[in-house]
Amino acid sequence: MPAMASDPKKTFVLVLCSVLLMLAGLARAGNFYQDVDITWGGGRGKVLDNGQLLTLSLDRSSGSGFQSKSQYLYGRFDMQLKLVPGNSAGTVATFYLSSQGSLHDEIDFEFLGNASGEPYTVHTNVYSQGQGGREQQFRMWFDPTKDFHTYSVLWNPNHIVFYVDGTPIREFRDREATGVAFPKSQPMRVYASLWDAEEWATQGGRVRTDWSQAPFTASYQGYAASGCTSPDAAACARSNSPWMYQELDSAGQDRLRWVQTNYIIYNYCTDTWRFPQGPPPECSAK
């Protein structure tokens, strides 16, 4: 304390930093009343616990969904989800970013339901300029229906990284030099939904939804969006936010390899049926 008192400038800086950190923590806590709009579902989406919890429900008549009030060009986006328990076959819960239009960009987390006793499939995809088909699918190393787990997207000019509980599971780098478009000019909103996909979601549609189990409910909390809200890509690129040029360190690269080795169940880059002439160019680019 004496040292701080003898240097007023240092004291001011330390106090200011503490206040900024506190405000940053409050901002990251999020509140669904302030941050999102429930856009469809006829009352099946509900905000609870003073804005700290949001539930989406699905029955035979309709699912439900919400979107962020703000749109972003680059950022870090986190959501805690607890998925539909039990026999969730045919249901899909989502957390994703998307722009609008036929040439839209999109970054997807989709959670494909299961028959009781079978694991969930975590489906990821990246669209750029309306072109998708870049699916990777994973099993998780935990039961995603028992507790909340954090699913995150880091999106900056260099790459997109998908995280689960802070562990990177997939990286999609900017490969425009190989002729592959990368999302870098269209602002995106954050979306979430719970919907009926029994025609394809579970074992290619072979396992249908058991509607006697409805309504199905997925729970969302801990939404945090830290991104550039300017539509100007050049202005966003000048941001000094920590996520703007964040890369995976050696520990992150090791964790990514661990997931890709042990938990991936489908990778479009190795699908020789879809790509008999060889994988798309971004798959082999260094």
User: Is residue 110 among the annotated active site residues?
Assistant: yes
What does the block give as tokens for 95?
Answer: 């957390």
Q: Assess contact for 282 and 178: CB atoms under 8 A.
A: yes
Which positions ≥6 away from 68 have C-beta within 8 Å?
35, 36, 189, 190, 191, 225
Distance CA 22, CA 69 (A): 23
Q: What is the DSSP letter of 186?
A: S
User: Is residue 118 among the annotated active site residues?
Assistant: no
- Residue whose tokens read 């106090």: 15
**Secondary structure of residue 35 in the 3-state scheme:** helix
One-letter amino acid for residue 188 of the chain: M
Query: Which one of the listed residues 106, 171, 247, 282 is annotated catalytic?
Result: 106
Q: Which residues are the active-site residues?
A: 106, 110
